[in-house]
């Protein structure tokens, strides 16, 4: 069973559902998908919302190992994504040498804001945590107390591992930053990340690969 947790924000509910559909429609193995909804995590996540926190799931992603009982593997994805490949191909890249595996971007956005006028803050390892393969047994530092008290940088820069050698690298095709990474043909991309803002926001209706996201939404809605 491929266990997947997706960040959830009510403002991007449609993005969550389209991403879920894109995963299920292409998966060759059984998939279990759970949204990280703050309304369901009140007993685990009680920290105050930070002024620089752009989504509801900025910190909840780090509860994934705890929610998984610190056993096996789990995948986390931001909701502003679209999967174009069989998720089993990503799952097959699990490597027990590592505690987490991520696409190691060198993301240095020039703008200071992104969708819905949310703050865009540059920092080392930015967007590494937007797709994470968690080797849960090696992530026991992520207790509820730690996730609720650590700084954003401690969490998103994986300081809790105390060793960057435990951060494995995934192929860039599994977290392609739309309108930041060089445009590629869709067949060369496995996961599109609309990190600046997706076509479900009016201001980003014409963003890169918008046609692919809109086509996926239409397939999800079709009944007949």
Q: How sure is the predictor about 168, in pLDDT bands with cuts at 50, 70 and 90?
A: very high
Q: Which of 44-53, 80-89, 148-157, 172-181 has the lowest mean pLDDT?
A: 44-53
Q: Write out pLDDT tens, residues 52-87.
A: 667 889 999 999 999 999 999 999 999 999 999 999
Residue 114 has what pLDDT? 54
Burial label, 57 (beta-carbon count in 10 A; 0-12, 13-18, 19+):
buried
CA 137 to chain CA centroid, nearest Å: 20
Ordered by where they begin, the domains of the chain are 2-221 (3.90.550.10)
Rounded Cα distance, 164 and 70, in Å = 20
- Dihedral over Cα of 32, 220, 103, 89: its sign: positive
Q: Which residues share a beta bridge with 77?
A: 6, 131
DSSP 92: T
Residue 59 in contact with residue 38, Cβ under 8 Å? no
Residue 156 in contact with residue 123, Cβ under 8 Å? yes
Residue 108 has what pLDDT? 73
Q: How sure is the predictor about 124, in pLDDT bands with cuts at 50, 70 and 90?
A: confident
**For a pLDDT cut of 70, what percent of the chain falls above it?**
92
Residue 55 has what pLDDT? 87
Residue 127 has what pLDDT? 92
């Amino acid at each position: 069973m491929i266990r997947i947790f997706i960040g959830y924000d009510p403002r991007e509910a449609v993005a969550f559902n389209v991403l879920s559909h894109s995963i299920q429609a292409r998966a060759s193995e059984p998939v279990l998908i759970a949204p990280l909804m703050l309304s369901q995590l009140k007993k685990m996540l009680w920290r105050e919302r930070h002024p620089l926190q752009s989504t509801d799931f900025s910190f909840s992603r780090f509860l994934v190992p705890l929610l998984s009982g610190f056993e096996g593997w789990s995948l986390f994805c931001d909701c502003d994504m679209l999967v174009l490949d069989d998720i089993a191909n990503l799952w097959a890249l699990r490597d027990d040498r590592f505690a987490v595996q991520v696409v190691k971007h060198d993301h240095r956005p020039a703008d200071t804001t992104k969708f819905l006028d949310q703050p865009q803050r540059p920092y080392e390892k930015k967007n590494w945590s937007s797709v994470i393969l968690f080797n849960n047994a090696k992530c026991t530092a992520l207790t509820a107390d730690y996730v609720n008290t650590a700084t954003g940088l401690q969490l998103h820069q994986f300081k809790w591992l105390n060793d960057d050698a435990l951060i494995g690298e995934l192929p860039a095709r599994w977290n392609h930053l739309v309108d930041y990474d060089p445009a590629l043909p869709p067949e060369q991309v496995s996961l599109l990340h609309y990190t600046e803002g997706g076509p479900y926001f009016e201001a980003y209706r014409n963003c890169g690969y918008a046609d692919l996201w809109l086509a996926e939404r239409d397939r999800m809605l079709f009944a007949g």
